[in-house]
Amino acid sequence: MQSLQSSSPPCLRPSPLTPLLKNQSKSKSHFHFPASRSSSRLRRSGASVIVNVSAPKREHDPKKRVVITGMGLVSVFGNEVDEYYNRLLSGESGIGPIDRFDASKFPTRFAGQIHGFNSEGYIDGKNDRRLDDCLRYCIVAGKKALVDADLGGDKLFKIDKERAGVLVGTGMGGLTVFSDGVQALIEKGHRKITPFFIPYAITNMGSALLGIDLGFMGPNYSISTACATSNYCFYAAANHIRRGEADLMVAGGTEAAVIPIGLGGFVACRALSQRNDDPKTASRPWDKGRDGFVMGEGAGVLIMESLEHAMKRGAPIIAEYLGGAVNCDAYHMTDPRADGLGVSSCIQSSLEDAGVSPEEVNYINAHATSTLAGDLAEINAIKKVFKDTSGIKINATKSMIGHCLGAAGGLEAIATVKAINTGWLHPSINQFNPEPSVDFDTVANTKQQHEVNVAISNSFGFGGHNSVVAFSAFKP
C-alpha cells in the first residue's frame, strides 16, 4: 500500500527521516556488493546512494537454489495463467462498476471485482458455501499451481509431504465472514454468530485449509504485512527451502475485500480514486492525473522448490527465484519516506541476497499503485540503486487489475515470470500525461518485446513494510 491522498491526522507523527544517520559522516557512503553474501553490510547517506560493484555470486548449491515449478491464480481476468497474461498484454482494463452490493452511496463505486468465480472441482460444495472468498481464492489458486507443477491428483503421493509446506498470506483475512459475524451479533445477538466466524476470519486459515486438504505437514502459516504480504511469503518460503526445512513450498497471497466494509474503510482513509465517470482509466500510475488507487481482489500462488527436489522428480522448471529482502521504513503508518531510504535499501538487499549486480536488472514490475506520493517515492528509491536506467523497463500491473492488497505481489510475480518466459512485457495503461521525473520506459499503453535478464518485483504495505523479490530464467 502506498500513501494516502491527503495529509495525515496530526496524531500520526512520522519519525525523523534520518534516524540512522545521526552518527554517520557527512561524506558520501557507498552500497558495496561483496564477493559473498554473508559478509555484506550497507552504508547509507541521506541524500544519495552510489553503487560500487564487485563480483556478486549467485547460489550454486542445488539444495539451496530455489526454482518456480508451478503458478496458479484467481483474478479479474479469470483463473488461468495464460488467459490472465494475454489479457494483460492486450492492455485490457479489468476495472468496472461494483455490482456485488449497492455502492451507490459511496464516493468510489468501482473496483477490479471478480465475476463468475467457480470453485467446482477444487472445493466440495458444502465447504464452498461456508468459506469466505479469501479462503476460496487461496485454495483454488494453490491447487491450480500444483497441477501446473505436475503435482495434480495422485502425483502428490510421490513427494514427501512432511517436507512440503504452505505459506499463503492475506492482508485483510476473511473480511466477509468477519463483517457478517459482527452484523449478526448487533442485530440478533451472540447465539446467531456462526461457529465458523473465528476460524474463517483469521488470516492463517487459508494456508491451514490448503495444507489440510493436501496433507502437507511442513511449515504452514500466514504472513500479514498489508500489501507487501505476498512478497514476504515468497521470501520466507524460499528461506525455509534454503535452510533445509522444506523441499517444496506453496507460497503467495490471497485477498477478497471488495465488500462494503472494505470499500468503506479505504474511502475513510481517502486512499481511493473517485473517477466514477471513467473507471477503466482510474488506475493510472505515474500519470499527473492520478487520484488514488483502485481496489482489486484475487490470489496468486507460486510453487517454489529446491532445484535438487525439482530435478529429481522431473518437474517443469518455469523460472528461478534468485533472492529477496524485506524491511521497514520505520517512518509513518501510511506515508512513504520522502528520502526513499527504506525502499532503496530493500532493493539493494534483495540484489545482494540474489547475488545480482544492478547492471544485470533490466525489468522492474513496480508497486505503482496510482497514489500521489507513493508512485514518485518508489521511482526516487529505484533511481538511488540503479544509476543507469536507460536499459531498464518498468511497468504497472495494477493499471489493469487494480490493487489486490495482500494478493498483489502474488499476481504481479506471475506477471513477472510470464514476462521472463514470453519475452513480452505488458503495458502500463492509462499513461496520458506522465510525470516528468519518471524517466524510465514505462511500457506506456502498448506491450513491448523485451528479453528479461533479471527482474525484480516490488511490494510495499501500510506500516512501512517493504519487500522486493528477484527472478530470472532458469539456467542449469
Backbone φ, ψ for residue 184 (5° rounding): -65, -40
> What is the C-alpha end-to-end distance of the chain, expressed in Å?
36
Asked about 465 being catalytic, the answer comes back as: no
DSSP codes, 132-190:
-HHHHHHHHHHHHHHHHTT--GGGGGGS-GGGEEEEEE-SS-SHHHHHHHHHHHHHH-G
Name the helix (H) or strand (E) containing 207.
helix 205-214
Alpha helices (H) along 269-338 = 307-312
CB-CB contact of 383 with 346 (8 Å): no
- How many CB atoms within 10 Å of residue 303? 29
Asked about 403 being catalytic, the answer comes back as: yes
Backbone φ, ψ for residue 347 (5° rounding): -60, -45
Asked about 240 being catalytic, the answer comes back as: no
Of the candidates 240, 309, 332, 367, the residue annotated as catalytic is 367
Separation in Å, CA 143 to CA 137, 250, 468: 10, 9, 25
Of the candidates 134, 138, 227, 404, the residue annotated as catalytic is 227
Query: How does strand 164-169 pair with strand 220-221?
Result: parallel
- How many CB atoms within 10 Å of residue 386? 24
Q: Which three cell numbers stand for residue 4?
A: 494516502
Q: Which three cell numbers stand for residue 318?
A: 518455469
Of the candidates 240, 309, 332, 403, the residue annotated as catalytic is 403
Residues classed as catalytic: 227, 367, 403
